[in-house]
Structure formats: structure tokens, C-alpha cells
């Protein structure tokens, strides 16, 4: 039988970097289930941790608690993935700056775009090819 890890409210709050007040508020708003047991014997499980981390992801992406509640209890199979955290002042992102031609460049952040390195290379080659066709057709029209 699998052993269930039990966390006190304080342990839970330290793990997910939230205050006890916030956790209780989420329980009150039915964003997460109440702890197992009651009184001094109440405890939280890994499922509680995962739910709180999911709520934090959606909040970091700028969603309201009402919208987060809708997403958490959406039973459809098309449930969207949490978006990446919005960039904040001082955040550092690694992007590729790709030279297409004089005066034309492409800035690409493959991880944010959800592209593999192979897909990023294919995109670049397709854009260069498209640009060359457009530039060549413009010269032929003159």
C-alpha cells in the first residue's frame, strides 16, 4: 500500500510559498479541497500541493480566480495548458536574432513559440525562401 505524505498547514504553505490565510481563502472559494481530517489532526496531501501550484501558475499568467475556477473544474478533454508566466521587468529571455536580408531580421524565442530546434530552423528557412520569392517577383515585375 502506498504511503500518503501528510503536511501540516505550515508545511504546505512553506512548500508552495503561500500564506495560511491564502490557502484557507482558496478552500473557502472551493478552488481546492479542505484538508483531510479535522481539528489538530487535519493534514494536506500531494494533491493539495499540486492544486495550489496549478492555481499559482494560472495567477502568474494573469487570470482571475473566477477564470481559474472555471479551468480547474472544466471536464472537457480540451482543457488548455497553463500559459507561461508573463515577462516582468528585469526578466531575461534568450532569443535568436536571425538575419534574413538587409533591414530584415526575425526575433525568435523557440521555447515560448513551442518550437523544437528543427521546427525553428524550418521556420527560418521558409521565411527566407518566402522573402526571396517576393523580392525576386518584385524585380521581375519592373
What pLDDT, in 10s, does the model give residues 5-31? Answer: 899 999 999 999 999 999 999 999 999
Q: What is the pLDDT of residue 129?
A: 93
Query: Which letter does DSSP use for residue 85 in this model?
Result: P
Q: What is the pLDDT of residue 95?
A: 80
What pLDDT, in 10s, does the model give residues 72-87? Answer: 887 665 555 555 566 6
Return the C-alpha cell found at 5: 505524505
- 37: alpha, beta or left? (left if phi > 0; alpha if psi -120 to 50): left
What pLDDT, in 10s, does the model give residues 49-76? Answer: 999 998 988 888 778 898 888 888 876 6
Tell me how far the alpha carbon of residue 57 is from its chain's centroid.
6
Query: Which letter does DSSP use for residue 31 in this model?
Result: S
| Terminal-to-terminal C-alpha distance of the chain | 79
Return the C-alpha cell found at 26: 482558496
Amino acid at each position: 500500500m502506498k504511503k500518503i505524505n501528510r503536511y501540516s498547514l505550515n508545511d504546505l504553505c512553506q512548500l508552495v510559498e503561500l500564506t495560511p490565510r491564502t490557502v484557507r481563502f482558496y478552500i473557502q472559494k472551493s478552488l481546492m479541497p479542505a484538508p483531510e481530517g479535522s481539528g489538530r489532526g487535519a493534514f494536506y496531501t500531494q494533491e493539495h500541493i499540486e492544486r495550489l501550484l496549478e492555481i499559482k501558475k494560472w495567477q502568474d499568467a494573469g487570470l482571475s480566480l473566477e477564470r481559474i475556477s472555471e479551468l480547474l473544474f472544466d471536464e472537457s478533454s480540451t482543457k488548455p495548458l497553463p500559459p507561461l508566466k508573463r515577462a516582468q521587468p528585469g526578466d531575461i529571455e534568450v532569443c535568436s536574432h536571425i538575419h534574413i536580408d538587409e533591414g530584415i531580421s526575425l526575433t525568435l524565442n523557440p521555447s515560448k513559440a513551442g518550437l523544437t530546434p528543427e521546427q525553428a530552423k524550418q521556420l527560418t528557412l521558409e521565411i527566407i525562401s518566402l522573402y526571396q520569392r517576393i523580392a525576386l517577383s518584385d524585380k521581375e515585375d519592373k
